[in-house]
Amino acid sequence: MDPGAKNKLFKMKFFISIFILSLVLFAGCEKDQYAYKKFIGGSEIAYAGLAEEIATRSGNLRVQVEWKKSIDPAVVSYTLYWNNNLDSAITPATAIDPDGIYRYIISGLPEYVQSFRIVAANDRGGRSIGQSINSVRVFGPYYRSSLINQRLRSRKFFGTDSVRLYFLQTDTTKLFSTIRYTRLDGNPDSIRFQHDSVTVSSYLPGSKPAVQSYYLPTATAIDTFKTIAADSLEAF
């Protein structure tokens, strides 16, 4: 065979090889853009797409679990598991706005660290690989019993019926405090304050005020906790 013919044959074989390789790569990459696929015993399993932007918000013996729906249009439901998978709740995908966040509150939880799991299911019977949410703190009576009211540091009187109360700083999780007192006309009243001082005007001389503080255990918590009881202060 002359050199020219050999060169043409080589080029033809090269392009045929490239074409076949392209077909193989295309077939290997062609898959559902949303689902995981697996072949077992010659049959194909399409895993459901995963929930998006999962988050939790702790509360008083409860937790709010929230997520956005999967981009997989075949997903029809989400199952939320807790209590070591002994308890669960199913949410239809149609209940979740495509652009919104779905929120589910689980109540009656013990005051401890909890774990949760979300499993999506599609219209072909496939399920997602599951998404775990671990080390979620649940707050309750034990946490509340650890909270203290703001301590009075000093006070400054103005005239006979006005006083400025100065308190010591507390934990940064404190949201605010309230001071309950008796007005000059004998009626009870209260003032809510966020900083470390508050002015009480037109109070009844000789009456005894009380202070109570309120806390948010985490920045994203869904419940506010107050101390077990208010602390009485020295009479005005």
Domain regions of the chain by residue span: 45-138, 143-232
- pLDDT tier at 45, thresholds 50, 70, 90: low
pLDDT tens figures, 149-169: 999 999 999 888 899 999 998
pLDDT tens-digit readout, 6-37: 455 444 554 455 555 454 444 443 444 444 45
Task: Assess whether the region 45-138 and the region 143-232 belong to the same CATH fold.
Answer: yes
Handedness of CA 21, 24, 27, 28 (dihedral sign): negative
* pLDDT bracket for residue 188 (50, 70, 90): very high
CATH 2.60.40.10 fits 45-138, yes or no: yes
**pLDDT tops 50 at residue 1:** yes
Q: Quick one: pLDDT at residue 62?
A: 98
Query: Which overall architecture, per CATH, does domain 143-232 show?
Result: Sandwich (2.60)
Q: What is the pLDDT of residues 125-151, one digit of tens each?
A: 899 989 999 999 999 999 999 999 999
5: left (phi over 0), alpha (psi -120 to 50) or beta: alpha
Say yes or no to pLDDT of 43 above 60: no
Q: How far apart are CA 118 and CA 130, in angstroms?
A: 6
pLDDT at 221 over 90: yes
- Label residues 40-58 b or e (16+ Cβ within 10 Å = b): eeeeeebbbbbbeebebbb
Mean pLDDT to the nearest integer, 31-57: 67
- Entry pTM: 0.77
